[in-house]
Structure 1
């Protein structure tokens, strides 16, 4: 039977699918066969995860951000290594259950040889972004899927892995591939930043508003002027692939010497001329570990910037005070315990800003010059969390890195350790963490000696830890150890400073490299939305809206908002509608009177009033605003 390649595909895409089907046939696969469903054991997967440690570490936060943008779309995100082995996945529970049936989970291999034409395997074979939809999959068992994958290249241009979004074919969205591509670029840029810490980094673009965005080129040089690495945007702007760029120098590409550019390093962009004659705007960063000879050739301004000496001009906590009384109270309470060796426990719904508050606490603490190390206890696989937290010594287990690895706890020494979603930490790890907090020493796996550690502890959870303790899922002694000061962030729908929050996000993020303004109609819609994803959802909505702006447009209007966001708002409004009363009284007036009476009866307690009326606090606040 001839597979449907898809008449709507572009010719190049059609050829990619056709060639993949031909390869699938040469692998001995046939469309009605049962796919290979074997998965690696936990120990085998742990070894593979360790082999891809850098990829996994830098992809994980990007995957979480991407998932916040596609949540509730009946889909999942998968990260694989270069062979197509799924290292980690996360997604909607309803779709994950279906994905399990076709082994679309960690430990399964999705190369073309195992699964025929599919986005992951075909991306590996073609080394390009690929979407495979419905019956474009070679095997019938996978026809219910729609998949979009991008290759992730390491800083040397080699295939490191694949990032994939897979969902039900009925929920296909054209914008999915754009989101996956952006996320893949973010991972590659993070890999470059971690691999080349020393030397001189140039971020450039012909349009200054694109500096600081995914559109900017990034080129890294050693202090002799030899090119070490360039991201995909840099390769495109310079007109050379990475293999050819490696033979180039700073002078041949940008026409400047190392010492001259070090003198330009700092916050202000400079103008450079590429070897092609194109003028670009560039920001120059120099790592702190400059050699003495290079230091001697730079002026005072360059040296100051090189060692990254910058005065903090604003308080992180003060920046969170944007007019909401609940937030102001939280900030005031937190300020009283900073620097007093009292652990802080932050509660609140997903996306309410727990990590934002933790970073602000670190910024205002006496330890602000030290590291801020964040660990998401819920997203780390159970097989990896021990080595990630505590580290391991040389030869601690099969497949371990030759020189061992420093754990997150030791990395936080002298700074702040932020344990997010601590309520999801496995019980065995809770026991080890308790010992660290009691004795202030950490013992890496396989190490003969423990090492002392000193850090400020901030934890967060969207779960009710007291209930977890009662259920036997969280140690009571650990709960009291981490619960020095407990604060709970309000949901975004309950805050009274929405306009100020929007302005702060836009000001800090500078989405798409530009400062934008928000139409009043958009702010009116924002005020009516329940915001189940809280600040994270708001940031993603603004980011997507900015991506919809045309060139030079800086005003976000309703038509720029994501369609699913508008649909979600429409569903909420529809659910609140009821037929008008038979009498002449307005329903809204009757409701307002009932709500006011209930609120008065409960002494102004919003939570108690909502429970008495049988509605959510979000709905109650919305009715109070009517």
Structure 2
């Protein structure tokens, strides 16, 4: 059975673009109109984000991962609400300015009524993933862009937003839409699991290796076996629309009695079971539920569920984190042979069992959360919660509520009975604050008070709640420089940096082969999933600069594992095409940088000489490379120097030698 999503993308289909242009004309738009530079004001944008809190919260980590995959491609990742208003963006710094010129920024509507034919507006109208390339845009001003967009649906099939990658037309990759679609589906699956956290969730697919991947079906059922909802993959596998499924009992959908399946899940949590779909197709399934809140419907299973209340809840949390056949990250398992990492792990090991705060520094994707989890697992607090919060993934207005919690009625839109914050959730365990450098000053003050007093007062509350926790923080920012600028509190800095360690970038590590094996082990979901990469793939990996670090490596291996379709190892043909292009470009750039620096060093070694070295084929090639880079970057010397890894003076020197003025 195919694992491809049911809904086909409409990539460059003439009828879709033609229909969108016809709608644009009917709306009274003129192709020559200039972009609207009136985005929502900050308070209005903040309010809009709060109205889309669930979408925003679950989308941000996925956006970061997607951006890491397309970094340095003159593009940006955008999240919109259901009306096409941009809520958040992540982009290459040198492209953001160009995007702002066409109003591609938060607070601006990209609905068809405002922008005519464009990927965001057209995808939302059409309800399908869409690419709009260059001249296919209705407004002339937007024809510098190529945009790939996929709508995002809530767990009940209603469109609540869209995910988009927009970039310079010259950097267009035909596989970008596939990445966007996968990322949108990932957001939908996160929303689904969050919506039905208290329900029985059945993960299923005809092939066992696809359980736990984007291609698995997800179906949720109430305590009495009533069908609640299903994700896109489940609808495809059932071969029925959501309304048709909502009137069918569990047995009709899976060919087994609900009580029997619930008993089997309770007896062996995390084990695979075989069920049968209405079409007769047999699927491998895995059940998951929170036993602390789940009430079994039938008398013959009540006792079983009640007896598993505590153990079942712990097990459910565990199987969400990692497959049952993989041990959790520990300081020992993170030591895969790199000398820098070994030294870091030895230092961290010396404070094992002591509640000394740890500050983890390193670039995005270097494995800061892996290390934080290992620190927790190797501590006496290992049986208590490990609670993580990414301070950069929430707007300022939501960090406070998420971290400190709030009482009933603390603010408009708050949940009934309030909410327990991350600090209280971590009581007895470890609180991991990722990207602590992005925490607003006001929350820094409150966090400092919590660390001093070991208690927290929720928003709208008056009673202090005692907490006992260890704190581990991480950031890619220079906190000392931020202290000098007055945007990070010095007293908080000295509270969180009991021990400071800096993780190396992936390209600086010597244990790539061992890391690949570890990542594949963590991603392994059953027989048939590749356990290794071919020598050719390993050689190509060695050439890559890995700007997204371990996160990028994990994403590449996850996609390649799916493309390998049950083979015992990953081959070059299984790797994402854009990744292969990036590796080739990186290798070429590294060669050119090395050659250019060598020539540059030769010139610098004789600065008083007025004569230039005799021309050579190599120098001609170097000058051509610089000229081509400048032409592609519209003559931007700073951008060209940055891309080539040279000083700006070096680029100017080549221009002068070539007799070119700038």
Q: Could you tell me how far apart the structure 1 residues matched to 2:583 and 2:594 are?
A: 17
Residue aligning to 2:622: none
The CA deviation string for residues 217-269 of structure 1, in whole angstroms up to 9 with x for no partner, is 11111121111110111101111111111111111111211221123322331
- Whether the 8 Å contact between 1:223 and 1:258 is mirrored in structure 2 is no
- Judged with a 3 Å threshold, the aligned counterparts in structure 2 of structure 1 residues 32 and 165 are, in CA distance, closer, same or farther, namely same
Q: Could you tell me how far apart the structure 2 residues matched to 1:372 and 1:75 are?
A: 35
- Whether the 8 Å contact between 2:204 and 2:211 is mirrored in structure 1 is yes
Q: Could you tell me how far apart the structure 1 residues matched to 2:145 and 2:36 are?
A: 16
Q: CA deviation at 1:91?
A: 1.1
Q: CA deviation at 1:76?
A: 0.8
- Whether the 8 Å contact between 1:42 and 1:383 is mirrored in structure 2 is no
The CA deviation string for residues 494-546 of structure 1, in whole angstroms up to 9 with x for no partner, is 32322111110111113897124211232233334443432223223323433
Q: CA deviation at 1:375?
A: 2.4
Q: CA deviation at 1:124?
A: 1.5
- Whether the 8 Å contact between 1:86 and 1:106 is mirrored in structure 2 is yes
Residue aligning to 1:566: 584
Residue aligning to 1:81: 81
Residue aligning to 1:174: 174
- Whether the 8 Å contact between 2:131 and 2:148 is mirrored in structure 1 is yes
Q: Could you tell me how far apart the structure 2 residues matched to 1:49 and 1:411 are?
A: 25
- Judged with a 3 Å threshold, the aligned counterparts in structure 2 of structure 1 residues 369 and 11 are, in CA distance, closer, same or farther, namely closer
Mapping of 1:591-602 within 5 angstroms?
A: none
- Whether the 8 Å contact between 2:27 and 2:113 is mirrored in structure 1 is yes
- Judged with a 3 Å threshold, the aligned counterparts in structure 2 of structure 1 residues 447 and 48 are, in CA distance, closer, same or farther, namely farther
Q: CA deviation at 1:295?
A: 7.8
Does the alignment pair 1:455 with 2:469?
A: yes
The CA deviation string for residues 472-500 of structure 1, in whole angstroms up to 9 with x for no partner, is 33222111100111112122233232211
Instruction: Choose from 288, 294, 303 the match for 1:290.
Output: 294
- Judged with a 3 Å threshold, the aligned counterparts in structure 2 of structure 1 residues 357 and 112 are, in CA distance, closer, same or farther, namely same
- Judged with a 3 Å threshold, the aligned counterparts in structure 2 of structure 1 residues 446 and 115 are, in CA distance, closer, same or farther, namely farther
Mapping of 1:144-163 within 5 angstroms?
A: 144-163=144-163
Residue aligning to 1:232: 232
Does the alignment pair 1:56 with 2:56?
A: yes
Q: Could you tell me how far apart the structure 1 residues matched to 2:313 and 2:280 are?
A: 32
What is the TM-score when the length of structure 1 is the normalising length? 0.85
Which is worse superposed, 181-190 or 438-447?
Answer: 438-447
Mapping of 1:359-374 within 5 angstroms?
A: 359-374=373-388
Q: CA deviation at 1:384?
A: 3.8
Mapping of 1:219-618 within 5 angstroms?
A: 219-265=219-265, 266-288=269-291, 289-291=293-295, 294=298, 296-297=300-301, 304=308, 306-309=312-315, 316-398=330-412, 400=414, 404-510=418-524, 514-549=529-564, 551-561=565-575, 562=579, 563-577=581-595
Residue aligning to 1:607: none
Which is worse superposed, 283-292 or 39-48?
Answer: 283-292
- Judged with a 3 Å threshold, the aligned counterparts in structure 2 of structure 1 residues 133 and 569 are, in CA distance, closer, same or farther, namely same
- Whether the 8 Å contact between 1:43 and 1:383 is mirrored in structure 2 is no
- Whether the 8 Å contact between 2:68 and 2:547 is mirrored in structure 1 is no
SS at match of 2:259: helix
- Judged with a 3 Å threshold, the aligned counterparts in structure 2 of structure 1 residues 121 and 313 are, in CA distance, closer, same or farther, namely closer
Q: CA deviation at 1:404?
A: 4.6
Residue aligning to 2:199: 199
Q: Could you tell me how far apart the structure 1 residues matched to 2:63 and 2:481 are?
A: 29
The CA deviation string for residues 74-106 of structure 1, in whole angstroms up to 9 with x for no partner, is 111111111112111111111111112222222
The CA deviation string for residues 551-577 of structure 1, in whole angstroms up to 9 with x for no partner, is 343422334442222321332234334
Q: Could you tell me how far apart the structure 1 residues matched to 2:42 and 2:357 are?
A: 34
- Judged with a 3 Å threshold, the aligned counterparts in structure 2 of structure 1 residues 99 and 557 are, in CA distance, closer, same or farther, namely same
- Judged with a 3 Å threshold, the aligned counterparts in structure 2 of structure 1 residues 36 and 463 are, in CA distance, closer, same or farther, namely closer
Q: Could you tell me how far apart the structure 2 residues matched to 1:291 and 1:323 are?
A: 48
- Judged with a 3 Å threshold, the aligned counterparts in structure 2 of structure 1 residues 539 and 152 are, in CA distance, closer, same or farther, namely same
Q: Could you tell me how far apart the structure 1 residues matched to 2:274 and 2:158 are?
A: 32
- Judged with a 3 Å threshold, the aligned counterparts in structure 2 of structure 1 residues 441 and 545 are, in CA distance, closer, same or farther, namely same
Runs of at least 5 residues in structure 2 that lack an aligned partner in the other structure: 1-8, 319-323, 603-644, 647-662
- Whether the 8 Å contact between 1:263 and 1:298 is mirrored in structure 2 is no
- Whether the 8 Å contact between 1:201 and 1:221 is mirrored in structure 2 is yes
Q: CA deviation at 1:406?
A: 4.1
SS at match of 1:143: helix
